Structure 1
Amino acid sequence: MSTIELTGENFEQTVLDSEIVLVDFWADWCGPCKQFAPTFESASDKYDDLVFGKVDTEAQQQLAAAASIRSIPTLMVFKKGHLVFNEAGALPPQALDSLVEQVKALDVDKAIAEAEAQKGQAGE
């Protein structure tokens, strides 16, 4: 699967309807974004069971603002509709592969339950 363009119109639905979504926030004028693009595209071919989306921060300024993008490239990863990774900077191929494997292995429901339990204990 190749990457898809994400916009304000399809971003939320894509994140909610897909098991795992990797989102690359980028801009045409950004050198590091251009360096990361082939790595992201290659991963989208390698992991065809995941959704790889790109957000052009120039064309989608409201979406970038809503996502609190401060620098680019920024990579966000969602699992079952939950943000599980958010980091600025271009990842090398091995680091992106490692991240994908970690997200696949993550039991997001368990992680959410544990976080809720910790909040409950902190509030006592």
Structure 2
Amino acid sequence: MAVIVATDNDFNNVLNSNQNVVVKYYADWCGSCRLFAPKFKRMSDEEVFANVAFVDVNAETSPEARKLAGVTNLPFFAVFRSGKLVDTVAASKEEAVRDLINKLTV
């Protein structure tokens, strides 16, 4: 599945129209964010995550979406179930993000 790019304008709509959502918060200047982008895209295509919507949010241009997850560092990942925040992690390790997403599948 393609990674959805969301902004403050459509973030709540994306959360409410998908049961399970993982959000990657990034900034254009963030090197670790750029390095993680291909991993995030690859994970979005994996069959095991077929029921999870993968979303990219620019943390600098979408302050309301950033506040919903309490972003503290970049890259920052948050998982939402039925529009509600489940858990977050500030990490650039794929294993940490996989562990976070797996919280949606239990």
TM-score (norm 1): 0.73
- Counting only pairs closer than 5 Å after superposition, residues 1-124 of structure 1 correspond to structure 2 as 1-46=1-46, 47-65=49-67, 67-92=69-94, 94-105=95-106
Kindly indicate which of the two structures has a greater share of residues assigned to helix: 1
Residues 20-61 of structure 1, C-alpha deviations (whole Å, 9 max, x = no match)? 000000011101111211111111111232110000123324
Aligned-residue RMSD, C-alpha: 1.8
Check the 8 A contact 2:24/2:77 in 1, yes or no. yes
Kindly indicate which of the two structures has a greater share of residues assigned to strand: 2
Check the 8 A contact 1:32/1:89 in 2, yes or no. no
**CA separation in 2, counterparts of 1:82 and 1:28?**
27
Whose radius of gyration is greater, 1 or 2? 1
TM-score (norm 2): 0.83
Structure 1: which 5+ residue stretches go unaligned?
106-124
How many Å apart are 1:3 and its aligned residue? 0.4
**CA separation in 2, counterparts of 1:24 and 1:44?**
12
**CA separation in 2, counterparts of 1:62 and 1:102?**
24
What is the aligned length? 104
How many Å apart are 1:84 and its aligned residue? 0.9
Task: Work out which structure has the larger RCO, using CA pairs closer than 8 Å and 6 or more positions apart in sequence.
Answer: 2
**CA separation in 2, counterparts of 1:98 and 1:85?**
11
Structure 2: which 5+ residue stretches go unaligned?
none
Change (3 A) 1:28 1:60: same
How many Å apart are 1:101 and its aligned residue? 2.9
